[in-house]
Homo-oligomer: A and B are copies of this chain.
Amino acid sequence: MAKDMTLFWGSGSPPCWRVMIALEEKNLQGYNSKLLSFEKGEHKSKEVMEVNPRGQLPAFKDGKVIINESYGICMYLEDKYKNQGNKLIPECPDERAMMYQRMFEGLTLFQKLAQSLFYTRYVPENERHDSALERNTKELKDEIGRWEGYLKGNFLAGEHFTMADVIVYPVIAFLFRFGLCEEKYPKLAAYNNTLKERPSIKASWPPTWKEGPGMDTLKNL
């Protein structure tokens, strides 16, 4: 039951957002939603550390069950509420294979995004190199090109909305929020613009993104 669930989350974080999309898709509205600020360091607060000793968001409780890994939470919700809301894992083994392939490749997409966009956040000033940032950015560009090529149907794993979309959509939305050029990546842009209108995604849209425009960091990618 949603009222036994508590989610600590931060606005715009793809790992948090995917959990919120999964909760919407499984008709689990009404959970205890605790929006915290990364900027204020609230992800290191006592109430988060008690649930997630890593001091990271998301942190999630369902009654006595604690699970904090975002991929894990999504899978757990789908398993536990198999017959509630939308079915996120296809029955057909071939479609399922494609879903798993894309959802786990999503880890690489997010890693490439982070090592380019958050380079100065993660690398201390005296260890930074232009050559490293250039290489990381080139790797991100190549990775995005791969995903542009993947989109043949309407969704990441084919013609149906699946767990791959729940998990990877927030990363793709993040790229466009940081200025990815719609003309250069028309399939990803169409995907992004279609999914934006999906009820689960509209309902969970990052509140800080509604307050103003994004950045143009990736505009030349």
- Chain A contacts to B: CB under 8 angstroms: 53, 62, 64-73, 75-76, 79-80, 93-94, 96-98, 100-101, 103-105, 107, 124, 126-127, 129, 131-132, 146
Contacts and interface: CB of A to CB of B under 8 A. Distances in A.
Contacts of A70: 104
Given A79-B93, A107-B107, A101 B69 contact: yes
B69 A104 contact: yes
Given A71-B104, A72-B100, A79-B96, A129 B127 contact: yes
Copies of this chain, how many? 2
A22 to B, nearest CB: 13
A154 B53 CA distance: 22
Given A68-B101, A126-B129, A126-B131, 14 more contacts: A53-B146, A64-B94, A65-B93, A67-B97, A67-B101, A69-B101, A69-B105, A72-B101, A72-B103, A76-B97, A79-B93, A127-B129, A127-B131, A127-B132
B97 A65 contact: yes
A75 to B, nearest CB: 5
Instruction: Give the 5 A-B CB pairs with smallest separation, nearest first.
Output: A72-B100, A69-B104, A67-B97, A72-B104, A127-B129
Nearest to A62: B97
A140 to B, nearest CB: 15
B76 A93 contact: yes
Nearest to A132: B127
A76 B96 contact: yes
